[in-house]
A and B are shown apart, each in its own frame.
Chain A
Amino acid sequence: MTTTTYAESRWMGGTCPFAAGWKKVMMWVFIVGDALLFAGFLTGYGYARSMSSDWPVAGEVFNLGLIGLMTFVLISSSATMAAAVATASSDRAKTARFVWMTVIGGLVFLGLQAYEWTHLIGAGGRPWENPWGAALFGSYFFVITGFHGTHVLIGVLVNAATAIRTSKGITTPENVEMAGLYWHFVDLVWVFIFTLFYLI
């Protein structure tokens, strides 16, 4: 029926194989790269733990109630961000409200994490030693949750800028969606950390 000409063929750039704008494709490329960073940390953690004979028991070191609250806050902020992306093309005021709710969720999460770190450091937990068992436990804990917390902090800043720009009407629904993709990714990483580090 249709013959594909040279210029239209997929690998010549004549068409749009992903059916998505460049921002979204590039965002996904970034997310995959960032995901591999965390995958590397978690793989290293898994190996170190499987080779260790005195890895601390998570339930004895961590306050799992606090971790549950942090998880609740982050999942909820992801839901409000999804709502913000969904309303971005129809209702600017609503979008800004949802993004601010996400920002508040991120700040609460950071506050709870600061509390957790303070508590663990007060109890003698260090990146090079800890009173509960294998020294590497502290290394992996502070590196993995520290990198994740840094991602949350960056997300809070990006989302705050997105909220302000949405209110002023100087951003686009696509930009809100990009901020949303990043925030959901931060939530996604926490799902893995929560399960692999705190529960298993």
Chain B
Amino acid sequence: MSETKTANLGIYWRTWVVLLVLTAIMFFLDTLAMPRGLFVVVMLLAMMTKATLIGGIFMHLAKESMDLVVTVVVCALGFGVLLYGLSVVDAHRIYEMAQGIFVR
């Protein structure tokens, strides 16, 4: 960190171009009449790729200590999102009870 007189910005501009290309591909695929399931899967993959690039390179997670990455991304965020996922199952059960279609 101390000997960086001229910072190397190439990696950031390249990431920027990749993010824009991914976005352009997503827009292009949106204009095609793809099967719904395939479209959703491809979009989610592209979304996660973009998120990984932003987190890994722009936010430096690729260069941070593994302890920080695991604590932040896997434990805190991962389990938090898992909790939301589980609560959706419960929400749906309550919805079905309200509809009177709850089966014991």
Q: Which residues of A contact B (CB under 8 A)?
A: 17-20, 24-25, 28-29, 31-32, 35-36, 39-40, 43, 46-47, 51, 59, 64, 68, 71-72, 75-76, 78-79, 81-83, 86-87, 89-91, 180-181, 184-185, 187-188, 191-192, 194-196, 199-200
Q: Which residues of B contact A (CB under 8 A)?
A: 1, 4-9, 12-13, 15-16, 19-20, 23, 26-27, 30, 39-40, 43-44, 46-47, 50-51, 54-55, 57-59, 64-65, 67-68, 71-72, 76-77, 80-81, 84-85, 87-88, 91-92, 95
**Do A79 and B13 contact each other (CB < 8 Å), given the known contacts A19-B65, A192-B47, A200-B43?**
yes
> How far, in whole Å, are A2 and B95 apart by their CA atoms in the complex?
59
Q: Of A20, A32, A192, which is within 8 A of B77 by CB?
A: A32
Shortest CB distance B13–A (Å) = 7
Closest-by-CB residue of B relative to A40 is: B84
Shortest CB distance A101–B (Å) = 12
A-B contact pairs, 30 of them (CB 8 A): A17-B67, A18-B64, A19-B67, A35-B77, A39-B77, A39-B81, A43-B87, A47-B91, A64-B27, A64-B30, A68-B27, A79-B19, A79-B58, A81-B58, A82-B58, A83-B7, A83-B9, A83-B12, A86-B7, A86-B12, A89-B7, A90-B5, A91-B6, A180-B58, A184-B59, A191-B47, A191-B51, A195-B43, A195-B47, A199-B43
